[in-house]
């Protein structure tokens, strides 16, 4: 064998490292830019807006101002997010501010109530009976300046405050209850007791606590009075969570070696996927030719006849074809034969088949069939006439076309 | 880089190790790190497919239904041994029997890989890439790379009508007078004079020569030679219709091959033209020695186009190719609308100067459908089929009336029918 290779010499096609870099650097740059933007935006956003009644929030719905005031008053503010933390942090002498009371499940509410801590609930609606039996929430007018109209010392001290949104109706007299700041006739601030006897304060709206309205009316005095009553304030901003005593995933019950083995098997499966995913070279496309059945249009026309139930047309065609073939084999002129030619054909056929001419005429030129069954019969009768009336056609017509296949 | 099943298997065995010896995250990480490190070593030790030099030689033509062998020479110009799998990729219709072969190529050596093709369709088949997967010594992982090694195999039409050729050639010799029988046809060419022997047709006695010569002298005749036969293949949309298992065009190609071979052997000048809106194939001045090779080469790559054939332009092409009287054989489909709009208007121009034969690939399915009976669906279908048959018959009649010879036959019967029609014209001296 010669050492020089024949003309069609190979050319490696796979990209080198530099090619990869050249190809991917722009998408990579775009992704990095996007990530950077997202991070920067996230940081800026987290400074500005930390959410509703956040003790660190400086935007309108935040409550940093209130938290600062409370701390200056010597109240120990303890922000918590989970139910377990809240229950652990709250003692019988403490106050718990629940910013979204409706987010807690009945079990979590029970556990919170059982701590015996004083509860301040902001805009509680659906879960009100779970916290304070005998009370329920009703919708009242939007928050606005309201007067106390009650003898609750805090309320009397504060004077008018921004309240509304939700009102609390029901019996508040179980402990030293109070119903203050009526809006549309229903108190927007209710003080009552939980099942276990702890005090619970229901506040119809968060407005008096927020940065936005804290310095209006008597809002600040009311908020400080409600939340600063005890040494310690547990600032509970609930997150949706499952009941802690719900059954855990079954994987928690498995022994450690099973889990470790399963993870390793998963890695093996991943490697197997990588192994199977890589093709040995790319797929080769096949330049397919156009494939249309030549009889496609015929079948389409057949479907049209069928759908339109055009028996008249179909019968006409079958008759025309039969007349054409019969005429060719009966040595009569075919093609655009006039009625005279058909009459001649009928006479010939009647003579050959010894059937009445009227019957053959009805078959070849009669009225169109009344229904599909009649059409099928007509086709069969035409076949019978062709078979009986003439010797089987074996040649070809003058045009060289097949006369009829059996 | 590529991984193999072995790497996955190793990781799976690692699961046992983790479960038994180190059931912790650290164990999982450790085992996976070992597997990956081994795989990486394998990749680094594998010979690079980039270092291969490949070249091809072998057959460039294959008749449809036969096999062709293309050899691939693989030379390892790299520094490491290349051991693994090689795939010589071809399109599916090239019918590669085995496109994957194991290769084991020490540095500097050369191997020959044979690829056997069994094409399933006519036309050019171009090799795609050659991909080599080179594995490391452990067989856990390796590298993969592709090379472009161009090669094209032209798959030639099968010429199934070849079996009709001997009988037609015998018939031709009969007409030609090389055999014993001499047919005196009207209008055939004058050949020579010879003495009368009993049995000769008295009508062929040449009285003037007899008077000069003294004995009775008859004229002998021979069929015309050196006539011009122009075969035109319509590659427009009607040729795309599939009849049976193949498009009409394939039957047309078979017809052209049989007629062209026959006519060239008969001493006629044969030209071939394939046309839809432009010339797709054009082979001129075929003679008996090269007719088949040149026709087959030109027709191999012909594909039906979804275009309406431009018969005006086609007529112009025919006129420039055949200045004198010629036999023009148009192989098309007798689609009534296509013929009425395309061929009929220009037929007069053609027949004025030439003898025109229209060969059409008929669809036997039409007859099958027309014979359908039994329920209303079948009868409606039969009526539709009769409609199309009537239309075809009418078109054929129109063409016949305008002076064309029409041959309308199913694919298998068309080539011999056209050959017979040609011989008939030749015997009667109407070329």
Same domain, A316 and A223: no
- pLDDT at A394 (0 to 100): 43
Q: How far is CA B308 from the centre of its chain?
A: 22
Least confident interval from A11-20, A28-37, A77-86, B34-43:
A11-20
- How many Å apart are CA B346 and CA B339, to the nearest integer? 10
Output the pLDDT for position B25.
86
B408 CB neighbours in chain A (<8 A) are 399-401
CATH entry 3.90.1580.10 includes domain B1-156: no
**CATH number of residue A195's parent domain:** 3.40.50.880
pLDDT-based confidence at residue A48 (cuts at 50, 70, 90): low
Note the pLDDT tens digit of each residue in B388-416: 999 998 899 999 999 999 999 999 999 99
Look at residue B86 in the predicted model and tell me its pLDDT: 94
Average pLDDT of span A307-323:
89
The residues, ordered by sequence, that sit 6+ positions from B431 with a Cβ below 8 Å of its Cβ are B224, B227, B229, B268, B327, B355, B425
- CB contact residues (below 8 A), chain B span 386-405, against chain A: 386-390, 392-393, 396-397, 400
Quickly state the pLDDT bin for A401 (edges 50, 70, 90).
very low
Cβ distance B27 to A260 less than 8 Å, yes or no, reads: yes
Task: Say what percent of chain A tops pLDDT 90.
Answer: 9
Report the distance separating Cα A142 and Cα A37, nearest Å.
39
The whole-chain average pLDDT of chain B stands at 88
Indicate the domain borders of chain B.
1-156, 194-219, 225-427
What pLDDT is attached to residue A276?
Answer: 93
Kindly list the distances between the CA atom of residue B25 and the CA atoms of A111, A258, B28, in Å, as whole numbers in the listed order: 36, 12, 5
Indicate the DSSP class of residue B66. Answer: S
- The tens digit of pLDDT for each residue in B340-360 reads 888 888 999 999 999 999 999
Position A127 confidence tier, pLDDT thresholds 50, 70, 90:
confident
* Per-residue pLDDT at B184 exceeds 80: no
User: For the residues A133-147, what does the mean pLDDT come to?
Assistant: 85
Same domain, A196 and A313: no
The CA distance from B380 to the nearest CA of chain A, in Å, is: 6
**Together in a domain, A180 and A311:** no
The Cα B288–Cα B295 span in angstroms is 11
Q: B334 in helix, strand or coil? A: coil
- Closest approach of B90 to chain A, Cα-based (Å): 7
* Same-domain pairing of A138 and A229: yes
Residue A375 within a domain = yes
Chain A residues whose beta carbon lies within 8 Å of the beta carbon of residue B251: none
| Residues in chain A closer than 8 A to B9 (CB atoms) | 268
Fold exhibited by the domain B225-427: Rossmann fold (3.40.50)
Q: What's the domain range around A374?
A: 304-389
| A34 occurs within a structural domain | no
In degrees and rounded to multiples of 5, residue B133 shows phi and psi of -110, 110
Query: How many domains are there within chain A?
Result: 2
| Cα distance between residue A219 and residue A225, in whole Å | 10
Rounded-to-integer distance, Cα A238 and Cα A99, Å: 7
Q: Touching check for A315 and chain B: CB below 8 Å?
A: yes
Query: So what's the pLDDT on residue A156?
Result: 83
Q: Select the more confidently predicted residue: A39 or A14.
A: A39
Residue A283: which of B309, B92, B118 has the closest Cα?
A: B92
Asked if residue B181 has pLDDT above 70, the reply is no
Looking at the structure, do residues A217 and A114 belong to the same domain, yes or no? Answer: yes
Over 70: is that where the pLDDT of A338 sits?
A: no
Residue A84 and residue A164 in one domain: yes
Query: If pLDDT is split at 50, 70 and 90, which confidence band does B191 have?
Result: low
- A377 to chain B: closest CA residue: B374
- From B11, B131, B365, residue closest to A271, measured CB to CB: B11
Best of B24, B379, B401 to disrupt the A interface (most A CBs within 10 Å) is: B379
State the residue for tokens 């740059």.
Answer: A29
Retrieve residue B252's tokens: 């047309």
Q: Which of A236, A262, A282 is the last residue of a domain?
A: A236
Residue B190 in this model has a pLDDT that exceeds 70: no
pLDDT tens for each residue of B217-244? 887 766 666 789 999 999 988 888 888 8
* Segment A358-400, tens digit of pLDDT: 888 888 888 888 888 888 989 998 888 888 765 544 444 444 4
Q: CA of A403: which chain B residue's CA is closest?
A: B367
| Interchain contact B307–A (C-beta under 8 A) | no
ipTM of the complex: 0.72
Same domain, A223 and A317: no
Contact A185/B at CB under 8 A: no
């Amino acid at each position: 064998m010669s050492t020089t290779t024949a003309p069609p010499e190979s050319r490696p096609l796979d990209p080198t490292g530099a090619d990869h870099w050249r190809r991917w650097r722009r998408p990579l740059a775009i992704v990095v830019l996007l990530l950077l933007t997202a991070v920067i935006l996230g940081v800026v956003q987290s400074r500005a807006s930390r959410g509703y009644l956040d003790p660190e929030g400086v935007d309108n719905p935040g409550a940093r101002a209130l938290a600062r005031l409370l701390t200056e008053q010597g109240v120990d503010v303890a922000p918590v997010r989970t139910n377990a933390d809240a229950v652990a942090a709250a003692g019988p002498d403490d106050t718990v501010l629940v910013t979204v009371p409706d987010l807690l499940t009945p079990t979590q509410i029970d556990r919170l109530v059982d701590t015996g801590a004083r509860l301040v609930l902001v805009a509680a609606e659906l879960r009100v009976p779970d916290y304070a039996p005998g009370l329920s929430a009703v919708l009242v007018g939007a928050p606005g300046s309201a007067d106390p109209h009650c003898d609750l010392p805090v309320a009397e001290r504060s004077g008018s405050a921004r309240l509304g949104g939700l009102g609390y109706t029901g019996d508040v007299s179980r402990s030293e209850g109070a119903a203050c700041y009526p809006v549309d006739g229903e108190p927007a601030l209710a003080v009552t007791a939980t099942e276990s006897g702890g005090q619970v304060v229901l506040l119809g709206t968060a407005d008096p606590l927020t940065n936005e309205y804290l310095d209006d009316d008597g809002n600040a005095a009311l908020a400080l009075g409600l939340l600063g009553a005890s040494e310690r304030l547990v600032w509970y901003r609930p997150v949706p969570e499952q009941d802690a005593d719900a059954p855990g995933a079954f994987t928690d019950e498995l022994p450690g070696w099973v889990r470790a083995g399963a993870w390793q098997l998963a890695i093996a499966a991943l490697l197997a996927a990588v192994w199977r995913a890589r093709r040995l070279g790319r797929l080769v496309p096949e330049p397919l030719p156009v494939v249309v059945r030549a009889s496609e249009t015929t079948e389409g026309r057949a479907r049209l006849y069928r759908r339109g139930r055009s028996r008249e047309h179909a019968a006409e065609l079958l008759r025309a074809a039969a007349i054409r073939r019969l005429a060719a084999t009966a040595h009569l002129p075919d093609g655009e034969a006039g009625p005279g030619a058909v009459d001649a054909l009928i006479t010939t056929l009647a003579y050959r088949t010894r059937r009445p001419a009227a019957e053959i005429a009805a078959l070849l030129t009669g009225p169109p069939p009344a229904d599909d069954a009649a059409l099928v019969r007509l086709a069969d009768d035409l076949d019978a006439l062709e078979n009986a009336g003439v010797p089987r056609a074996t040649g070809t017509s003058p045009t060289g076309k097949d006369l009829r296949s059996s | 880089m590529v991984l193999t099943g072995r790497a996955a298997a190793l990781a799976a065995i690692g699961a046992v190790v983790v479960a038994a010896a180190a059931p912790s995250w650290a164990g999982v990480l450790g085992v996976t790190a070992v597997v990956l490190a081994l795989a990486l070593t394998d990749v680094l030790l594998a010979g690079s497919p980039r270092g291969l030099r490949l070249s091809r030689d072998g057959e460039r033509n294959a008749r449809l239904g036969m096999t062709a062998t293309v050899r691939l020479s693989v030379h390892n110009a790299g520094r490491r041994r290349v051991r693994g799998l090689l795939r010589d990729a071809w399109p599916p219709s090239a019918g590669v029997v085995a496109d994957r072969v194991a290769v084991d190529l020490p540095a500097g050596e050369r191997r020959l890989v044979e690829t056997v093709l069994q094409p399933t369709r006519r036309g050019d088949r171009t090799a795609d890439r050659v991909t080599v997967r080179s594995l490391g010594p452990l067989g856990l992982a390796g590298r993969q790379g592709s090379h472009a090694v161009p090669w094209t195999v032209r798959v030639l039409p099968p010429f199934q009508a070849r079996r009709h050729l001997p009988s037609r050639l015998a018939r031709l010799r009969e007409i030609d007078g090389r055999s014993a029988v001499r047919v005196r046809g009207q209008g055939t060419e004058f050949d020579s004079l010879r003495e009368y022997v009993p049995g000769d047709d008295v009508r062929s006695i040449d009285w003037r020569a007899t008077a000069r010569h003294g004995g009775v002298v008859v004229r002998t005749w021979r069929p015309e030679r050196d006539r011009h036969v122009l075969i035109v293949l319509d590659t427009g949309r009607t040729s795309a219709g599939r009849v049976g298992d193949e498009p009409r065009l394939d039957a047309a190609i078979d017809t052209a091959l049989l007629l062209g071979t026959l006519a060239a052997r008969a001493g006629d000048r044969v030209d071939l033209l394939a046309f839809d809106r432009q010339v797709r194939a054009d082979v001129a001045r075929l003679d008996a020695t090269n007719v088949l090779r040149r026709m087959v080469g030109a027709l191999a790559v012909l594909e039906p186009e979804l275009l309406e054939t431009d018969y005006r332009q086609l007529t112009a092409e025919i006129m420039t190719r055949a200045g004198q009287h010629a036999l023009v054989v148009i192989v098309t489909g007798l689609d009534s609308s296509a013929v009425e709009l395309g061929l009929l208007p220009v037929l007069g121009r053609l027949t004025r100067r030439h003898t025109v034969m229209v060969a059409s690939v008929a669809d036997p399915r039409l007859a099958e459908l027309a014979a359908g009976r039994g329920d209303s669906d079948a009868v409606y279908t039969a009526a539709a089929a009769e409609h199309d048959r009537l239309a075809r018959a009418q078109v054929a009649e129109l063409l016949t009336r305008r002076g064309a010879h029409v041959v309308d036959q199913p694919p298998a019967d068309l080539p011999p029918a056209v050959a017979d029609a040609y011989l008939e014209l030749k015997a009667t001296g109407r070329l």
